Amino acid sequence: MDKDSDSTVTSLDENTENFCTNPTRDILAEGITNLFKPTIEKLDERVASTIQLQSELRGQLDALAAQLRDIEKAQNQIPEFADKVKELLNVKHKVTIISNVLSNSQERLTGLHRLIEKEQRRRQALLDSALTTNIS
């Protein structure tokens, strides 16, 4: 093999130094971060809105179930209502499960958002220190 084609990086410190001072990689990473940040923020807002709406829906389903139970008791437990109440309770259960999934998703999105901001601050600090070093 040609000696020029072999890697000359022999230590982790040298490799890390090359990795940290790669402006193309930094620009590309910042571009990708900026590309995803608005989407994550919009998704986070929509998840929060959906969670709120599902909470309101859960409250309405509870009220409706209570009203149906009252009607059922008043009419000596007509079997048709008993089945509908069961269906309604099943729907309420599904809404609760979906709400939990959305809450977990929102928590993950919030964590991802924090990581993106942390990475941006780290990159800015690296860039600032590199500029300060180059200016000096």
Contact 92, 62 (CB under 8 A): yes
Give the model's confidence band at 12: pLDDT under 50 very low, under 70 low, under 90 confident, else very high: very low
Q: What is the pLDDT of residue 28?
A: 81
Give the model's confidence band at 23: pLDDT under 50 very low, under 70 low, under 90 confident, else very high: confident
Q: What is the pLDDT of residue 118?
A: 92
User: Token pair of 7, please?
Assistant: 């890697």
Q: Where do we find the tokens 């990581």?
A: 115
Average pLDDT over residues 102-123: 91
> pLDDT tens for residues 39-50?
888 988 998 898
Contact 26, 127 (CB under 8 A): yes
> pLDDT tens for residues 62-77?
998 888 888 877 777 5
Q: Measured between alpha carbons, how far is 25 from 18 in angstroms, rounded to an integer?
A: 11
Q: What is the pLDDT of residue 83?
A: 80
Tell me the longest C-alpha to C-alpha distance in the chain: 94
Positive or negative torsion for Cα 30, 32, 38, 40: negative
Q: What is the pLDDT of residue 15?
A: 47
Q: What is the pLDDT of residue 108?
A: 92
Q: Measured between alpha carbons, how far is 51 from 36 in angstroms, rounded to an integer?
A: 22
List Cα–Cα distances, 105 to 47, 51, 109, 110, in angstroms.
Answer: 8, 11, 6, 9
Which value, to the nearest 10 degrees, does the dihedral of the CA atoms of residues 111, 117, 118, 123 take? 150
